[in-house]
Every structure is written in structure tokens, then in C-alpha cells.
Amino acid sequence: MQLAVERFLVGPYYRLLKHISISGQENIPKDTPVVIVSNHLSYWDPPILCIATRKPVCYIAKKELFAHPQFAALINLLGAVALDRKKPSLSSIKKVRQAIQAGWSLGIFIEGTRSKIAGSMGQPHTGAAYFAHTYNLPILPIGLIDTNKKDGKFQAHIGKVIEPGADLEAKTWEIMQALSQLTGSKLPAQTMLDRG
């Protein structure tokens, strides 16, 4: 259902009215789920991960987004799973595992929230690296550009696959470097990361 909604309703809207351009689709692994990792600029961003990859996507979303019932219903329809970044529940982890087993990819915005400073990325979280390592999934970086501009043309640049690794902090900064190269955004200062 998610793919149908994205392909026949959301996708045409983005292409016709937001003039979205997508590059790098040759980098998408065809026969395996991936951890799709992106920067985050606006509420327009989540559907782009599905539109760009043509894969069903289970979005990892902070639990605060589920506080409003109507919005929660919408993002549930789009495949979101609520996650407490400080103390993930067993039910959330189970839903993620079930999605992967069903062939879904994971979609994660590495900053955990929208970027606050134009042209710069916020501090990342290690969740993407954690899920990739735990389930041995390749990481697919997607750099988003101008999705926060009212009259901007949305851009999604898909980078080369990054292999998972046990050093979550090092892998997180490797992902951030890839996203910086794809978007031209500045990296934040490297500090001890929040493992969420």
C-alpha cells in the first residue's frame, strides 16, 4: 500500500509541483533491504526516500511525532515506527525487525530532527549505524537539497553504498561525510555522539 500511495499519489505531486530531480539511482542495491540515511530539512522529506529508491521504507521516527493522533495516523500509514531514542522499547525493535524480514528498508534521518542552520548539518545520532550493524544491512546515503524552500526544486542525490561496521561512531561520521559531499552542507564539530 505504501508503494502505491508513493508511486501514484505522492510521487506525481512531487514531480509535477515540486519538480523533484533524483540522481544516483544506479547506486541502489536491487535485491536487499538497506538502511537509507538522509539529512533532514523539512516535513516534505520522508516520502522522498521511498520515491527515490522505489523500495518500501519503514521510517524510524522519534516518539514525539506521535503525540498528535491525526499526524500519528498519517505517518503510520506511511510506514513510520515510533522510537524512544533514550530507551527504545522492545515492541519498537520488534516492528523494525519484522519490517526488515518482510523485505522493507529502514529510513533514518541521521540528525534526528530538521537542520536548524542553513547550509550546515546538525549533530548526528548513531541509530543508523546501529541498525545497519545489527541487521548486517548496507547503508545508502541520500542527500536532500532545497526541500525546505517554498519555491525550490527538490533534489535527491543518492550516494554509493557504505558497508556496516561495529564502530558506530566512526561509521556515523563516515555517513555524515558522504551526506556532506552529496549536499554541500558543512559538517558539525565532531563530538561524543548520542547513541540514539
Domain parsing of the chain, residue ranges? 2-183
Helix, strand and coil percent figures for the chain, each rounded to 5: 40, 20, 40
How far apart are the C-alpha atoms of 136 and 107, rounded to whole Å?
Answer: 15
pLDDT per residue over 86-104, tens digit each? Answer: 777 888 889 999 999 999 9
d(CA 30, CA 159) in angstroms, rounded, equals: 15
Q: Give me the mean pLDDT over the 54-76 stretch.
A: 79
pLDDT at 173: 97
CATH architecture of 2-183: 3-Layer(aba) Sandwich (3.40)
Answer whether residue 146 shows pLDDT above 90.
yes
Q: What are the tens digits of pLDDT across the range 11-56?
A: 788 888 889 999 999 999 999 999 999 999 998 999 899 999 999 9
Residue 134, C-alpha cell as written in the block = 545489527
Residue 126: its pLDDT value, please? Answer: 94
Phi first, then psi: give them for residue 38, nearest 5 degrees: -140, 160
pLDDT at 9 over 80: no
Q: Grid coordinates in use for 136?
A: 548486517
Q: Above 90 in pLDDT, residue 8?
A: no
Identify the three-state secondary structure at position 62: strand
The number of residues in the chain equals: 196
Three-state SS at 139? strand
Residue-wise pLDDT tens digits, 169-188: 999 999 999 999 999 999 99
Unique residue bearing C-alpha cell 526488515: 100
84 — pLDDT class (breaks 50, 70, 90): confident
The residue among 10 and 3 whose pLDDT is bigger is: 10
Per the CB < 8 A criterion, the answer to whether 140 and 161 are in contact is yes
Span 134-148, mean pLDDT?
A: 97
